[in-house]
Amino acid sequence: MKVAVFNTKSYDKEFLCLSNANYHHDLTFFEPHLSLETAPLAAGYPAICVFVNDILDASVLQTLSQQGTKLIALRCAGYNNVDLEAAQSLGMTVVRVPAYSPYAVAEYTVGMMLDLNRKIHRAYSRVREGNFSLEGLLGFDFYGKTVGILGIGKIGAIVCRILNGFGCKVLAFDPYAKPAIQEELDLRLVSKEALFAESDIISLHCPLTPETFHIIDAHSIEQMKPGVMLINTSRGAVIDTRAVIEGLKSGKIGTLGMDVYEEEGDLFFQDLSCQVIKDDVFTRLLTFPNVLITGHQAFFTKEALTHISETTLSNISDIEAGRPCPNQIKAEASYAVAATASSGH
C-alpha cells in the first residue's frame, strides 16, 4: 500500500525500511509533523503513518479523507491525538502498536535509579574536567532497601524482578493485581499509604487515568520517607510537578528521575538547544543537582523499534488484505482505555 510516513526521524526510516523488506509497502517519508498545514503532503496516499505528537483532529482528518486517505497507522500505543469519532464518521480505519518492549522501559528505569544514586552523570562531567573529587557523590547500597512499585503490570513486574536480584525488598500498590503475584514476584502488595511510608525508592508504572492523575501530589509526598528516591518513567501527569519541586526544596524528595513530564508535548523529541525554553516549571527542575530528566527515551531500544515497525507494517497489511486487525481502534474505546494507551506513548 502507498503510505505517507509523517514526523520521520532517522531511526523511524531505518527501522521501517528494514521491516518493510517483508511487507513491500510503498513508503514515502516526510519530516514534518502532521498538521492542517502539512496534510496536503498526503494527497493521493491511501494510508498515512504517524506518531504520538502528530495532530489528527477533525479538520486534519477531513482534509486527509478528501485527499483519499482511508487508513491511519499509528506507530505508537497512544491515540489521544486522534479524533476517533471524526475518523469513524469519515469511514477511516485507525490502527496502533499496543505495546513494544516492557524490558526496554524496565531496564531504563533501573538505570535511572542506579545513576541517580551513585551520581554517575555528575561524575562523568567532573572527570572530563579533571575533577576527581568524590565530594557529593556518596550513594547507598541497593541491597536491603525497600522499593515501592506503583502499578505492577508488564513493566512494573520486570522492574521488580531486576530489583529482587539486587536483594531489595519490593512492595507494590496496584488495585487490580491478583494476590498470587506476591509469590510469583516475591513482593508484598500493600496500600498506597504503606508504600509511601515504607519505601526508600518509589517507581511509578501505572497508566494515566483519572485515578492516577497527580497520584504523587503534596499529600502523598508528605507521607514519604525523608530523602526518598522518586522515579517516573510512566506518564508525566501521574506526578504533580509543582508539588515535587516543593518536595525537592524541602529535602523530602532526595532524588528525582523523570523520563516523562506533564507538559512534554511542547518539548520532547525535538532539538530546542538553540531556543529559549519558556516552561518555567521545567526549567526550575533542571536547576536541581539531584534531578535527572530525560526526554521520553525509556522505550528507545532496537528491539522496541523493530517491534513498532513490524507491527505497524503488519497492521497495514491486515487492513489492505481485508483481514481482521487485532490492533484496530474503535471509536467507542473508553476514556480509561484511551488514557492507558496514551500513557505508553
Of the candidates 176, 208, 190, which has an alpha carbon nearest to the alpha carbon of residue 147? 190
Beta pairing, strands 228-232 & 253-258: parallel
In the chain, the N- to C-terminal Cα span, in Å, equals 25
Question: Out of 20, 212, 255, 309, which residue is the one contacting ligand NAI (CB under 6 A)?
Answer: 212
Beta carbon of residue 9, minimum distance to ligand NAI (angstroms, whole number): 15
Residue 235 touching ligand NAI (CB under 6 A): yes
Please give the residues from 143 up to 172 whose contact with ligand NAI meets the rule CB under 6 A: 150-156
**Between 119 and 296, whose beta carbon lies closer to ligand NAI?**
296
Q: Are strands 146-150 and 93-95 parallel, antiparallel or unpaired?
A: unpaired
Residue from 205, 264, 307, 345 carrying the catalytic annotation: 264
Minimum CB distance to ligand NAI smaller for 53 or for 233:
233
Q: Which of 211, 222, 246, 303 binds ligand NAI (CB under 6 A)?
A: 211
Q: Which of 96, 205, 235, 345 is catalytic?
A: 235
Binding characters for ligand NAI, 80-119, by CB under 6 A (x = yes): -------------------x--x--x--------------
Q: Closest by alpha carbon to 187, among 171, 165, 174, 176? A: 171
Quick one: 25 or 96, whose CB is closer to ligand NAI? Answer: 96
Q: Does 343 bind ligand NAI (CB under 6 A)?
A: yes
- Which residues does residue 229 pair with via DSSP β-bridges, in sequence order? 201, 255
189 binds ligand NAI (CB under 6 A): no
Distance CA 218, CA 197 (A): 14
Give the Cα separation of 130 and 280 in Å (integer). 32
Q: How far is CA 202 from CA 4, 171, 298, 336, in A?
A: 42, 9, 17, 24
Q: Tell me the closest approach of the beta carbon of residue 15 to ligand NAI, in angstroms.
A: 16
Output the smallest distance, CB 204 to ligand NAI, in A: 8
Judged by CB under 6 A, does residue 20 bind ligand NAI? no
Active-site position among 96, 296, 307, 345: 296
296 is catalytic: yes
Catalytic (active site) residue 264 = yes
Let me know if 345 is a catalytic residue.
no
| CA distance readout (Å), 183 to 29, 49, 144, 174, 203 | 48, 42, 19, 15, 20
| Region 243-262 residues binding ligand NAI, contact defined as CB under 6 A | 259-260
Measuring CA to CA, which residue among 287, 279, 230 is closest to residue 259? 230
Q: What Å distances lie between residue 256 and 109, 228, 241, CA to CA?
A: 12, 9, 11
**Which residue matches cell numbers 518555567?**
280
Residues near ligand NAI (CB under 6 A) are 99, 102, 105, 150-156, 173-177, 205-207, 209, 211-212, 233-235, 259-260, 296, 298-299, 340, 343-345
Active-site amino acid positions:
235, 264, 296
